[in-house]
Amino acid sequence: MRKMTKTVNLTGKRFGRLTAVRRDTSSNKTFLWVCQCDCGKEKIVRSYDLRDEKVKSCGCLHAEKVKTNTRTHGKSNTLIYKIWCSMKARCYRKTCKDFHDYSGRGIIMCDYWRNNFMSFYEWSMTNGYEEGLSIDRINNDGIYEPLNCRWVTQAKQARNKSNNRFITVDGITKTLADWCKFYKVHISTAHSRLKKGKTSKEIFIKNTCKKRRMK
């Protein structure tokens, strides 16, 4: 707390929506001022909070900003709004079945999108959104943000999921899912072998007798 050796008369001075009316003498240690807000309410504020512009209203200014940010946008029944809600649920709602696959991996939404649907909507409208497309993270381990997202078909999005990482066997590169289908190895078995540090060939070693050239 800063020290003041002299009382500065703020009577009649404006600070945002507040006008200092008179000094409040209820405290001997802190210089307080009774202020009249433009909305008609009174608020007692410390003098240095007024002069440092830390307080600019009785609280009505913040309330108006919140109301503006949460104002109904008329798109609550649209598909893109439901997509936005689903994104938030995956990242922040613990009861969501996909929560641990997203939040558990550190995948969240940038504040720009999380706090304002219209920011997400406007970005989508200028970046290829059409009904039938899905929001896709370019870096599958990255967060939901403008630089890491795109609108793609569901088929293309599926190939960007964790279980479709690329594996090279004998100079041929395919997704893990494709190799599992080729070697008839269950995807969970392949993931287990990957976690144990197995090489690309060792992942499918028990099924090499069934190997054939992929064309």
Tens of pLDDT, residues 5-20: 567 889 999 999 999 9
Average pLDDT, the chain: 83
Tell me if residue 125 falls in helix, strand or coil. helix
Tell me if residue 129 falls in helix, strand or coil. coil
Structure confidence at residue 29 (pLDDT): 66
- 71 pLDDT exceeds 80? no
Tens of pLDDT, residues 132-168: 899 988 887 789 999 999 998 877 666 666 555 777 8
Structure confidence at residue 214 (pLDDT): 47
Structure confidence at residue 50 (pLDDT): 93
- 209 pLDDT exceeds 80? no
Q: 73 near 117, Cβ under 8 Å?
A: yes
Number of neighbouring beta carbons within 10 Å of residue 134 = 14
Domain residue spans in the chain? 14-68, 79-154, 162-210
Of the two residues 109 and 177, the one the predictor is more confident about is 109
Closest CA to 108 of 76, 152, 149, 163: 149
Structure confidence at residue 198 (pLDDT): 84
Radius of gyration of the chain from its Cα atoms, rounded to whole angstroms: 29
Structure confidence at residue 210 (pLDDT): 45
Structure confidence at residue 45 (pLDDT): 94
Confidence label for 95 from pLDDT (cuts 50, 70 and 90): very high
